[in-house]
Amino acid sequence: MGRSPCCAKEGLNRGAWTALEDKILKDYITLHGEGKWRNLPKRAGLMRCGKSCRLRWLNYLRPDIKRGNISHDEEELIIRLHKLLGNRWSLIAGRLPGRTDNEIKNYWNTNLCKKLHTHQNSSVAKKNSNQSGHDKRKSKSNNMDPHPKKESSNVVRTKAVRCSKVIINHPQPNMKTDHQPMAKPLEMVNVQEAEDNNTSRDFALDANMEDVWLSDFLNSEELLMPCEDTMEDWSGNNFLEEPNLNYPHGLTSFL
DNA sequence: AAGCGTCCCAACCGCATTCGT
DNA sequence: CACGAATGCGGTTGGGACGCT
């Protein structure tokens, strides 16, 4: 695909994985566990590079995978997390059980990004009409049904949970129905208080504390999306470049 | 039915970060 | 501490699916 191969070894398979390769990889990892990706292909007898195996496993073969059918709640959560975290797909994915960074990234790029633009345009146009729908596919995507055609196809849709860096102490998020996407019953930690107490740096270093804060933040009314007013300014994702803002100092370092 | 254009997503890449010696 | 290897991450791409003409 344009660039030179990452694994310059000749004879390696590239492109779409076959069912046999999937089976070999899955069986091998079931037996030996994850890791040692570099050597895995050789040991498993796969003509793939380690990176490719890892990606295939993480995004496709791992058990307890959810694929497709991103719910409205999940979508809202993605939007809010993206506002908070920017393109930190792995972190966002860590907040969405069963979703992977790749899936979320794709979903964002193909659906939410367009939705945003559509929304912005419609805002600029002062709601002259319903959201465009001039593009049939876009319209379909905007109906919270991003994969309808594929769901009926033979494409397997399973993806792994991938909690890379964020420690999630919550029980399985209930995919909130009442503006509480982070179902954790949390003791309310006031961000401003934390800052006032000069504790922000510390809690940013503490994953659990950060988790609490993040949950609190996400539950805040400001981020209840989509909202036209806020929709207009979150495409830039400048919040990470502007350390001050209203966010704790430690967020960037935490990320 | 065929051709064409658009869109989606799996898989790739390079770079960054972490780990091991 | 330095260095190389391994792993993780986010951006990008191309093939295939789909809808329209």
Distance A244 CA to B16 C1' (A): 25
- In the prediction, which pLDDT does A144 show? 36
pLDDT tens-digit readout, A23-70: 898 888 888 888 788 888 888 888 888 889 988 998 888 887 887 788
Residue A60's nearest nucleotide, by CA–C1', is B10
**Residues ≥6 apart with Cβ < 8 Å to A187:** A212
Residue A90's nearest nucleotide, by CA–C1', is C9
Which of A71, A104, A221, A90 has the alpha carbon at shortest distance from A164?
A: A90
pLDDT tens-digit readout, A168-180: 334 333 333 333 3
Q: Which residue has the higher pLDDT, A116 or A121?
A: A116
Q: CB–CB of A231/A115 below 8 Å? A: no
Look-up: residue for tokens 């570099």?
Answer: A38
Query: CB of A112 under 7 A from strand C?
Result: no
Which residue is closest, via its CA, to the C1' of C13? Answer: A1
Q: How confident is the model at residue A120 (pLDDT cuts 50, 70, 90)?
A: low
Strand B: list protein residues with Cβ under 7 Å: A 1-7, 13-17, 48-49, 51-52, 55-56, 59-60, 67-68, 102-103, 105-107, 109-111, 114, 135, 137-138, 140-141, 146-147, 150, 155, 157
Element (H, E) at A115: helix A113-124
